[in-house]
Copies of this chain bind each other. A is one copy, B any other.
Amino acid sequence: MPIIHRHIATLQAALKPVRNQQRIALVPTMGNLHDGHLELVKLAKQHADIVVVSIFVNPTQFGVGEDFDSYPRTLDEDVAKLASVGADYVFAPSSVEMYPVLPPPTTIRAGAITTQLCGQSRPTHFDGVGIVVSKLFNIVQPDVAIFGQKDYQQLAIIKQLVRDLSYPIDIVAAPIVRAADGLALSSRNQYLSADERQIAPILQQELQRLAQQLAAGEHIDKGFNTLITDASERITVAGFKIDYLEIKTAQLEPVIDRLANDGENKKYTAQELIIVVAAWLGRARLLDNQLVTVY
């Protein structure tokens, strides 16, 4: 069984003697662990000798009216699952332990990358992510930290945070883990009714269709916007309320629609794009994304 630490000081005391002789991995989570999280831990074990999993429902990354209070908290089950994959330490602090002053006066903002996509509908979300991840980095001082690719924008923001703040931490991205029908695993999937759960995989199916269209070069004649509009309509008709559906470069920069800009020269150089989507289905806000190489 992993050893549970509720306090910063005891976790640090436990890690101090082994630091530098052994590589330490951090897997930050909000608990309510599913197989996607367990894959993060398995990946962490490949990159380090000691795996610390933090379980903390971070208040600063929830906006007003969001699901902070109802977010599922299942520590006992989480610890049992973590035992099955060999996590060494669970860091499960109280809110007061993490935030003696809440909200903390100090803010961290990872620049323009935070204001698009999820940052549009959740304007304070990534500031909260920035501060809690920085705190966890400073508390654990890991050699490597593992983040899931499902939260693609979060991953990009954390990579930038690590670069801009000179954290000596390798950031490892873990592939999205999906249910058999393709739905990306998420703690928020349990907000779905049985009927909604049947509909939910359509989101991933439409991303795949879009990726195939891009790989086949359909955007060269039709333009990105037409493909996006068509996919949005299908997703909306299926019962989703789309927050955003966008095609970006893998670095989350804008793609240039050459149909509009350069009708003569319909040749693209190979580049990796990402299709990113956030959509509500009932009470659940679902995220998904799909990387695709286009020419």
Q: Which of B17, B104, B137, B139 contacts A164 (CB 8 A)?
A: B104
Interface size class of A (residues with CB under 8 A): 35 or more
A113 x B108 contact (CB < 8 A): no
A165 x B134 contact (CB < 8 A): yes
Q: Is A270 an interface residue (CB 8 A)?
A: no
Contacts of A17 in B (CB 8 A): 20
A106 x B101 contact (CB < 8 A): no
**B-facing residues in A83-125 (Cβ within 8 Å):** 98, 100-101, 104-113
Contacts of A20 in B (CB 8 A): 16-17, 19-20
With the chains together, A112 CA to B103 CA distance in Å? 13
**B-facing residues in A4-20 (Cβ within 8 Å):** 8, 12, 16-17, 19-20
Q: Is A212 an interface residue (CB 8 A)?
A: no
Q: Which of A8, A164, A166, A168 is packed against the most chain B CB atoms within 10 Å?
A: A166
Contacts of A213 in B (CB 8 A): none
Q: Is A209 an interface residue (CB 8 A)?
A: no
With the chains together, A72 CA to B150 CA distance in Å? 49
B163 x A100 contact (CB < 8 A): yes
